[in-house]
Amino acid sequence: MLTVLTADRLFTPLETIEQPVVIVEDTRILLIGQRDAIELPQGARHLDYRGHSIAPASLDIHTHGAAGHDVMEGTAAALTAVSRHHASRGVAAYLPTTVTAPMDVMLRGLEGIADAIEHPGERAAKNEIAQLLGIHLEGPFLSHAKRGVHSPDEILPPSIELFDRFWQAARGHIRLMTIAPELPGALDLIAHARALGVRISLGHSNAIAAEAIAGIAAGASTATHTFNAMRGLDHREPGMLGVVLDRDDLFAEIIADGVHVAPAAVRLYYKAKPHGKAILITDSMSATGMPDGNYMLGNLEVQLVNGVATYNGLLAGSVLTMDRAVENFTAFTHCSLATATRMASYNPALMLGLEDRVGTLAAGRDASFNVLTESGALHTTMLRGAMSE
């Protein structure tokens, strides 16, 4: 079956095409071009999005859950609910993200997520929900001083032996790991995990600048939720934050919900980071998409009040969605929609080395699009040729 999409513009996102035509055959893009250069096929379904832009569907590399479920539940039902919710907010794929928890909880969660990755189920086969591309291991190799809501009793020193237990439980599906580089043994673990193909993110860290730089030298290539849970900037000791903002070779996440990071700080991040290294994330937890109440983040009960999730007064993840992250970042910084959508799609894919699978629109690639208004608000989504719910 052929489907033709037309709009005012399309972001690949490496280039912008005015008055585009996209021809989709089943799950794949057959052709992308300009309207005046392509003859529309007869009998095809035509979806005209005049006044809108088309961009790649998003990739969220840092999410703990949604729709009342935490990814560490590790059940098919829980992960399907999370995947369905993410798809409804324009996400084509994501990395379910762990939190520090008792060892048996972590191992069981990793095994369950690995099961879901390897056996995606009927809804995924029908292209109706977001895909799981791997696991983001956030904890337990974190700084006590910058642990946030990660349980202090379960935080552990970096250990190659312990990481290998996680790796075995996850059956090799760990793609990203957050670690504090200043901890004893951290640099050896960074090098070990990187040799296995895991991308390393510096975060939940009280590292001074020299320690952050050592982590990068050992193999780290990105930073976890910039500004949050990291040593702040001082004019004599720039700390981890100074390194993250200064290093043009380092990717860096940011939570653009206006709660975790003030809009003025978001603008500072936008001015400091090369646009090819900036990554939007949600850090969403199980309360995302739900009314105020109590929800789980790993083994912690978190309170959601007026859209802010806290545990004992500390921020505990977010209820941000990727479509709102794009819209907020555009509003906070006045950047182009092309830049914001790149931060939500191509940049995280590039950081993970998955840019040949997700985050780009081109002939032969998955037909996974977001259709956006001029302000960046999500209008509709197509995932691998199927319109999402």
pTM of the model: 0.96
Cα–Cα nearest to 4, from 33, 46, 41, 43? 46
Tokens of 233: 């900037």
Instruction: Give the CATH number, domain containing residue 39.
Output: 2.30.40.10
How many folded domains does the chain comprise?
Answer: 2
Q: Is residue 303 part of a domain?
A: yes
Q: Is residue 236 part of a domain?
A: yes
Q: Are residues 15 and 157 in the same domain?
A: no
Whether 283 sits among the annotated catalytic residues: the reply is: yes
Task: Measure the CA dihedral 257/176/341/113, to 10°.
Answer: -80
Q: Are residues 342 and 380 in the same domain?
A: no
Q: Are residues 174 and 299 in the same domain?
A: yes
Could you list the residue range(s) of the whole structural domain that residue 380 is in?
A: 2-55+366-387
List pLDDT tens digits, range 127-160: 779 999 999 999 999 999 999 999 999 999 999 9
Q: Are residues 127 and 227 in the same domain?
A: yes
Q: Is residue 360 part of a domain?
A: no
Residue 132 to residue 39: CA distance in whole angstroms: 37
Instruction: Give the CATH number, domain containing residue 298.
Output: 3.20.20.140
Residue 50 to residue 154: CA distance in whole angstroms: 52
Q: Is residue 125 part of a domain?
A: yes
Q: Is residue 358 part of a domain?
A: no
DSSP string covering 357-368: TSS---TTSB--
Q: Are residues 40 and 100 in the same domain?
A: no
Q: Tokens 């020299």 map to which residue?
A: 210
The one-digit pLDDT tens for each residue of the chain (389 residues) are 799 999 999 999 999 999 999 999 999 999 999 998 888 888 889 999 999 999 999 999 999 999 999 999 999 999 999 999 999 999 999 999 999 999 999 999 999 999 999 998 766 666 779 999 999 999 999 999 999 999 999 999 999 999 999 999 999 999 999 999 999 999 999 999 999 999 999 999 999 999 999 999 999 999 999 999 999 999 999 999 999 999 999 999 999 999 999 999 999 999 999 999 999 999 999 999 999 999 999 888 999 999 999 999 899 999 999 999 999 999 999 999 999 999 999 999 999 999 999 999 999 999 999 999 999 999 999 999 998 65
Q: Are residues 142 and 252 in the same domain?
A: yes
Give the active site residue among 60, 283, 323, 366. 283
Q: Are residues 50 and 106 in the same domain?
A: no
